[in-house]
Structure 1
Amino acid sequence: MSSEQLTHFNEQGRAHMVDVTDKAETKRLAIVKSQIHMRAETLRRIQEGSIGKGDVLAVAQVAGIMAAKKTADLIPMCHPLPLTGIDISFEVENEQTLSFRVKVKTTGVTGVEMEALTAAQVVGLTIYDMCKAIDKDMVLGPTYLEQKQGGKSGDYRRESE
């Protein structure tokens, strides 16, 4: 099967969950990067902890972890996975851009890219939700897979941002 052939369709052309029964367990890792752009004042207030709803980054971090664990409940063809590690880090890129990386790990028969992507989106949405009262012009993204390890398709590292 070529890497471009889609596997989420059965012989009738209907969607199905891919059968991973016979796949070997390997260590899996996915790292996703995303960012949110906002007014400088909004980012300053996040850093100071003066957003009225609480510690924005702490809440976003917990929301991202919860989202990674719930990915199979949200994305119909994702397998429920026993995640063994989730880490979310934040970095101020400039006075208007906050970036974040989500790292998800497991040992299993299928990858964790969707869990990392879902977590990253929920991190951004949580930041937006907590700050929308003072900045409705925030923009999420781009969000993309930076790296993956494990599985039949091998390792992947994005060459450019």
Structure 2
Amino acid sequence: METKLTHLDKNDNPTIVDVSAKQVTYRTATAQSIVVLPDEVLQHLVNGELQTKKGAVFQTAIIAGIMAAKKTGDLIPLCHPLGMDNCQVTIQMSANNEVVITCTASITAKTGIEMEALVGASMAALTVYDMCKAMSHDIVIKETRLISKTGGKHDFNRS
């Protein structure tokens, strides 16, 4: 079975996807990024927050993630500019001392919001890196992936 790429026209030229015939539905997407911090950074973790000379790392990363999600249409070529209904970024430490960043975005529209959630989680992870790099360059952004999406042609949920 051949999969047709949605961002190519009949002449294989780049194009934005025409969503004019799609139904408006409530859509959500959740993405996650995981950041691994070395011990020399983790020793600055106090009451669930990393404090650096640049300020509160997780609080700044949350704001950066939301701001980036709002700009997704400007950052990703051929991505529709969307006015999100909501965007939530959460950051917590896992049992493995990894920083788990989750971005959930929602919209009532004709097109999905997965890219906004992925961009939000990614930018929050990059902000953690930027704010902590003076303490160590051994920071690893281990993975960014879609966790779930609802409201389009196909729902998705990573078990």
- TM-score, normalised on structure 1? 0.91
Number of residues of Structure 1 aligned to a counterpart in Structure 2: 157
Aligned partner of residue 143 in structure 1, secondary structure: strand
CA distance in 1, matches of 2:114, 2:142: 17
**How far apart are the structure 1 equivalents of 2:129 and 2:28?**
27
Aligned equivalent of 1:59: 60
Give the match for residue 79 of structure 1. 80
Whose strand fraction is larger, Structure 1's or Structure 2's?
Answer: 2
1:94-150 residue CA offsets vs partner (Å, 9 max, x unmatched): 464111111000000000000010111100100000000001110002111010001
SS at match of 1:89: strand
Instruction: Letter of the 2:51 partner, please give it.
Output: S
Which consecutive aligned stretches of 4+ in structure 1 deviate over 4 angstroms post-superposition? none
Provide structure 2 residue ranges, at least 5 long, that are not aligned to the other structure. none
Distance 2:2 2:79 in 1: 18
Establish whether residue 23 from structure 1 lines up as the match of residue 22 from structure 2. Answer: yes
In the alignment, what sits opposite 1:11? 10
Match of 1:158 in 2: 158
Q: 1:14, 1:50 → 2: CA distance?
A: 48
Residues 54-99 of structure 1, C-alpha deviation per residue, up to 9 Å, x if partnerless?
A: 0101110000000000000010110001100100111211464111
Q: For the Cα contact (< 8 Å) 1:40–1:95, is it kept in 2?
A: no
Please name the residue that 1:119 is paired with: 120
Query: How many angstroms does 1:40 deviate by?
Result: 2.5
Distance, in Å, in 1 between the alignment partners of 2:17 and 2:51 is 46
Q: Which residue of 2 aligns with 1:105?
A: 106
Superposition TM-score, scaled by structure 2 size:
0.93
**Structure 1: runs of 5 or more not aligned:** none
Alpha carbons 2:34, 2:144 under 8 Å: kept: yes
CA distance in 1, matches of 2:2, 2:65: 29
Contact kept? 1:43, 1:95, Cα under 8 Å: no
Q: Which amino acid aligns with 1:13?
A: D
> Are positions 1:32 and 2:20 aligned together?
no
Contact 1:40 1:96 in 2 (8 A): no
What amino acid is the match of 2:137?
Answer: K
CA distance in 2, matches of 1:104, 1:3: 31
Identity of aligned residues (%): 39
Residue 14 of structure 2 aligns to which amino acid in structure 1? A
Q: Root-mean-square deviation (CA), in Å?
A: 1.6
Distance 1:3 1:110 in 2: 23
Q: Per-residue deviation at 1:44?
A: 3.5
Most deviating of 30-39 and 49-58: 49-58
